[in-house]
Structure 1
C-alpha cells in the first residue's frame, strides 16, 4: 500500500481512445427509421433502423462524393439513400442501386460497423470487427432489470472523455461542487479502498453514523416517511475499460448492518455512466439513476432524473472550465493526490488497451509497463490512502 505524494505528477496529455471496444452510440429510442448523425471516437456515423427494427451504423460519408448519409432517407427493407445523387446502400454498406446506370461499381461500399442493443442502449464497435464479441458489452443490467426502476439522459460534455472518468472515480469533489445536494465533509475525511484487475478498477468508501445530505434524506423519506437520524452511507465505484462506470450508492439507518450486506433499512441506487468519446475535446456522457425501491412511482423516477441532471450540470460546468484551462496550458502536468488513485489506475488500463492496438503515443509508452508489486490491490488503513501505479507517481 502506497500513498500518493502531493508532489507527484502525471501528464495531462490526451491518451486517445481504444477502438476495440463497445461504445454507446445512442439510446435505443433515439435510433429510428429516420437516419441520425453521431460522431464516435472521431468517426462520423449514420445510424438508422431497418424495416424489421435492426439498428445499423454506417460510415457517414457516401462512396461517391462523401455526402453525409445521415442527411438521406431509408429505402425498402434495409437501404439508406444518399441525399446527393441517390446511391442506395444496404445495412452491410454495399451499394444496391445507382442512378442512371444498371451496372454497379463493385467498389461502391461504405464501412458498416457491428452493433449490439443492450441495456436500453445501441452499442457500436469501431475496431477490428472479428473481435466484436457481444459478451464484451459492459454489464449494466440494472438498466433493464424489472428489479430496478429509473431513467437517464445524455450530456454533451465539452471536454475529453478521460476528464469525465477522473471526475467519477473521485467523488470527494461532491463536497465542493455539489455542496447543496449530495456533498458533505465526511467524503474527504473517510477512508477508501482501491482494487483492480486487467479490466476493472473499484473504489469503495463507507461513511458511518453521519447526517444524510439533502438528496439522500429526501430518498430515505420517500421509503421511510418522516425519517430522522444518522445514516451509514456508501459509494462503490466500478470502472470497466474503456469508459463505463457504475456507482453503487445509498444510505441506511445507522448501525442496521449495511456494511455487512443488510441494506433493508436503507435506500440503494446505481448511477450508471458510460462515456463515449466524440473528439479529443468532446464526449457523449450517457447516464441513468436506477433504484430498487418504490418501483411503481413515476413521480420518484422523474424527480430523481431531474435531480441528478442538476447535479451533473454542475459537473459539466467544471469539466468545461477544466478543458479550457488544459488547452491554455498544454505543457502543464497534473499533480496527484491520494484521492486520484482510482483515476490513475483507469488511465493505466486505457494505456494498456492502446498499447495492445499499437496506438499508444510514444511519450506515454513507459507508463504502460505492468505495475510493480508495491501497487498490488490493497485496503486503505488511513484516510485517503490507496494502492497506486508506481510508474505514475
Structure 2
C-alpha cells in the first residue's frame, strides 16, 4: 500500500451524494456513500453481509441503505437494521468509514473511523465567501496518484503540455525555489514583465485590463499530506507588486487539487479553481471551469501514458533534476509518514 491511511481524502463532491447511493472504490476499499434520515452523509463498505451484493446498486429508504438483491436494510453504523421475513440480529457488522461533509466535498478517513480528527481537514477560506467564486470537476485517471503530485509540483511542463493556454517560455527561463514549511512543501516561481499567455489574457480582459499589458506572474505550489496540492496563480499589471498588487489590477486564483488514490495505479482527481475577481459572474466561472477542464485533460493523457511506460519499463531508473525538487520533497514527506504508520502498527 502506497498511501497514508490516517488522513482525510476527498471521496466525493456533496452534489454527487443525493437521493441514490454512490459506490466508489477509494484507497483500495469499495465504499458506498448515502444520506441518512437527517441528511448527513454516511459511508460503509459496499458489501451486503447476506450474499455479498453491492449495496450501491440498491436504494435509500428513510435514511437506510436498502440492498437491491433481497431488501436488507443497512444503517450508517454498519449494522443491519432489518430484512423482509428474516431475523438479522446476528448479522455481522460491516465496516463503516468516518466521513465529514465540508466545503462542498465529502471527506473520508481511510484509517480506523474512531481515530478520525476533523480538525485535520484543510481550511478552504473561499467556500461561502462572496468575494470568491469556485468551479471544478472530477477525473478518474489510470495512473499512480504520486505522478499527479509530481506534475503539480513542477509546472515547467506547462510550456509544452499546455502551450495553447497557460504555457510560455518564461516558465522554463525562470528558476523556482523549493522549501519545507512544517508539514507543507512549497515550490514558487515569480516572473516579471512578461506577456500573459492566452488563459491569463482572458482573465485580464475580464477585469478590464488590456490584454497586451505587461504582467508579473506567480506560481506558488503547496503540497500537504496526504495528497493535496493548492496552487496560488495569477497575473498582475507589471510593477505593482505581483501577488500583492491591488485587486483591481490583478487576476488572482487558487487552483485546488485533491487527489485520492483508487488503488495501485489509479486515482480520483478533484480539480477546481477558486478566484478572487468578478466572483458574481457565473458565465465567467463556467468559462474558466471549461478551460481548466481542458487543461487537466491534457495532463491526464500525459500521466496515463507515463504510467504505462513505467509499468512496461519497470527496470528503468528515472532521472531527477532541480525542477523535480517539489515532487521529490513531497514524496519524501509521504514516505516518512508511511514509515511512521508502519512503526505504529508494529507496536
Give TM-score, length-normalised by structure 2: 0.95
Separation (CA, whole Å) in 1 of partners of 2:278 and 2:28: 41
**Equivalent of residue 64 in structure 1, options 50, 61, 66:** 50
Any idea what SS the aligned residue of 1:335 has?
coil
Gaps of 5+ in 2: none
Return 190-199 or 273-282, whichever deviates more. Answer: 190-199
Any idea what SS the aligned residue of 1:141 has?
coil
Q: Verify: 1:82 aligned to 2:91, yes or no.
A: no
Separation (CA, whole Å) in 1 of partners of 2:36 and 2:223: 33
Any idea what SS the aligned residue of 1:110 has?
coil
Contact 1:86 1:98 in 2 (8 A): yes
Any idea what SS the aligned residue of 1:314 has?
helix
**Equivalent of residue 246 in structure 1, options 214, 230, 235:** 230
Separation (CA, whole Å) in 2 of partners of 1:191 and 1:232: 15
Q: Which contiguous aligned blocks of 4+ residues in structure 1 show a shift greater than 3 angstroms?
A: 259-264
Q: Match for residue 164 of structure 2?
A: 180
Separation (CA, whole Å) in 1 of partners of 2:66 and 2:51: 13
1:50–1:69 distance in 2 versus 1, CA, 3 Å = same
**Equivalent of residue 178 in structure 2, options 190, 194, 209:** 194
Separation (CA, whole Å) in 1 of partners of 2:17 and 2:87: 32
Separation (CA, whole Å) in 1 of partners of 2:146 and 2:262: 12
Separation (CA, whole Å) in 2 of partners of 1:99 and 1:229: 70
Separation (CA, whole Å) in 1 of partners of 2:228 and 2:130: 22
Separation (CA, whole Å) in 2 of partners of 1:122 and 1:357: 24
1:136–1:264 distance in 2 versus 1, CA, 3 Å = same
Separation (CA, whole Å) in 2 of partners of 1:142 and 1:329: 43
Separation (CA, whole Å) in 2 of partners of 1:103 and 1:177: 56
Q: Match for residue 18 of structure 1?
A: 4
The offset of 1:51, in angstroms, is: 2.4
Q: Verify: 1:171 aligned to 2:164, yes or no.
A: no
The offset of 1:248, in angstroms, is: 0.5
Output aligned runs, 1:1-393, within 5 Å.
16-76=2-62, 78-102=63-87, 104-105=89-90, 107-258=91-242, 262=246, 264-358=248-342
The offset of 1:251, in angstroms, is: 0.4
Separation (CA, whole Å) in 1 of partners of 2:128 and 2:224: 19
Contact 1:138 1:240 in 2 (8 A): no
Gaps of 5+ in 1: 1-14, 361-393
Q: Larger RCO: Structure 1 or Structure 2 (Cα < 8 Å, ≥ 6 residues apart)?
A: 1
Contact 1:43 1:59 in 2 (8 A): yes
Separation (CA, whole Å) in 2 of partners of 1:102 and 1:131: 32
Any idea what SS the aligned residue of 1:358 has?
helix
